[in-house]
């Protein structure tokens, strides 16, 4: 004779799973296109350039980036995060191209705002795409990254971006004090409505490889970024980083990478109660795509499941290369 728990059969958990309509009604989280931020690469050319390590992802021309903004509006995707590919001839030791008001990112911002002003534009504030050594900041002769001198450059870069139409700047460099410095500069220059999304908990991860291919920094990078990005072993440290960035004037915070760090997403979201963005990074995207191409997983199902996991962990939104594809499936 089978012995059931005392609560059975009064409680049968499967009652709420028996049909799609009741699963939908009882669902705890809902994913919509409004939860997605579309990660887009832009380059200074006329044609689309495929990124070999990111199947299905191209670097877009400025004109194509404007079309992507229109597409985002059509699909109900609220914002685009813009990342530049800079060729070797546009790089130098100090990343001076990042400060050019007529550079690639400012031109793309203006074109995208003209095409679809309703779509929010987020820019990456860091020097890695522009430096010949591939680091997010300046590089001293002894191989160290000078924090305060780098921050001065980042402030200038952020001002260039908001001057060209960026709604949100997202400093991804992990220099200490840069959020406060950017916020002070924004106030002084009367950019009082421009927002800061702090890469507050950005880890020194192995999941960034395809991204570095996409922006052209993979072969340039000298050494690693462990002296300024967080140790993957640490969790409490992330909370300290978030608290500092919020105190300095960040409007939103980010956890990067995404799926391997859902515990950090949950801790940050529940501890601070502020908009918490997760970045489903290039390595996560590439793994799903590669496994699907090999027939090992149902790519569409895993894509949607992975995005829902961010919502379940407490993310307010997800930066993802899947944004267009997922929004189409969600009926955007």
Catalytic residue (one of 202, 225, 289, 311) = 202
**End-to-end Cα distance, the chain:** 52
Cα dist from 198 to 123, 224, 246, 288, 296, whole Å: 11, 21, 8, 27, 36
Q: Is 226 a catalytic residue?
A: no
Buried b (16+ CB within 10 A) or exposed e, 35-61: bbbbbbbbbbeeeeeebebbbebbbbb
Cα dist from 142 to 138, 150, 223, 284, 316, whole Å: 12, 15, 12, 33, 41
**Residue 231 carries which DSSP code?**
P
| Of the candidates 168, 220, 178, the residue with the CA atom closest to the CA atom of residue 202 | 178
**Per-residue tokens: 92:** 């130098």
| Of the candidates 251, 250, 242, 238, the residue with the CA atom closest to the CA atom of residue 203 | 238
Q: How far apart are CA 131 and CA 129, in angstroms?
A: 6
74 marked among binding-site residues = no
Return the CA Rg of the chain: 21
Q: Is 256 a catalytic residue?
A: yes
Q: Per-residue DSSP letters for 89-115?
A: GG-BTT-GGGG-TTSHHHHHHHHHHHH
Catalytic residue (one of 225, 256, 289, 311) = 256
Backbone torsions φ then ψ of 255, nearest 5 degrees: -115, 130
Binding residue ranges for Mg(2+): 241
Binding residue ranges: 241
Catalytic amino acids? 202, 256
């Amino acid at each position: 004779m089978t012995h059931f728990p005392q609560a059975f059969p009064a409680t049968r958990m499967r009652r709420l799973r028996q049909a799609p309509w009741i699963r939908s009604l009882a669902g705890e989280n809902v994913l919509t296109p409004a939860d997605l931020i579309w990660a887009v690469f832009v380059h200074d050319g006329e044609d689309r350039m495929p990124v070999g390590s990111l199947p299905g992802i191209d670097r877009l021309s400025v004109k194509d980036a404007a079309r992507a903004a229109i597409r985002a509006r059509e699909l109900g995707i609220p914002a685009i995060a813009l990342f530049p590919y800079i060729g070797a001839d546009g790089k130098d030791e100090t990343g001076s191209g990042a400060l050019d008001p007529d550079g690639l990112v400012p031109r793309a911002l203006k074109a995208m705002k003209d095409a679809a002003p309703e779509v929010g534009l987020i820019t990456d504030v860091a020097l890695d795409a522009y430096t010949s050594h591939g680091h997010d900041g300046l590089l001293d002769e002894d191989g160290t990254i000078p924090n305060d001198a780098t921050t001065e450059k980042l402030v200038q870069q952020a001002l260039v971006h908001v001057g060209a139409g960026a709604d949100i700047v997202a400093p991804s460099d992990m220099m200490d004090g840069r959020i406060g410095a950017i916020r002070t500069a924004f106030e002084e220059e009367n950019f009082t409505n421009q927002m800061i999304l702090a890469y507050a908990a950005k880890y020194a991860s192995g999941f960034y490889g395809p991204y570095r291919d996409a922006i052209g920094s993979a072969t340039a990078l000298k050494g690693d970024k462990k002296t300024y990005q967080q140790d993957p072993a640490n969790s409490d440290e992330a909370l300290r980083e978030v608290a500092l960035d919020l105190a300095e004037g960040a409007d939103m915070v980010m956890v990067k990478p995404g799926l391997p760090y859902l515990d950090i997403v949950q801790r940050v979201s529940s501890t601070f109660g502020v908009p918490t963005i997760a970045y489903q990074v290039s390595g996560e995207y590439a793994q799903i795509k590669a496994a699907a191409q090999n027939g090992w997983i149902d790519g569409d199902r895993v894509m949607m499941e992975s995005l829902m996991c961010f919502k379940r962990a407490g993310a307010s939104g997800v930066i993802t290369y899947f944004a267009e594809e997922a929004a189409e499936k969600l009926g955007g």
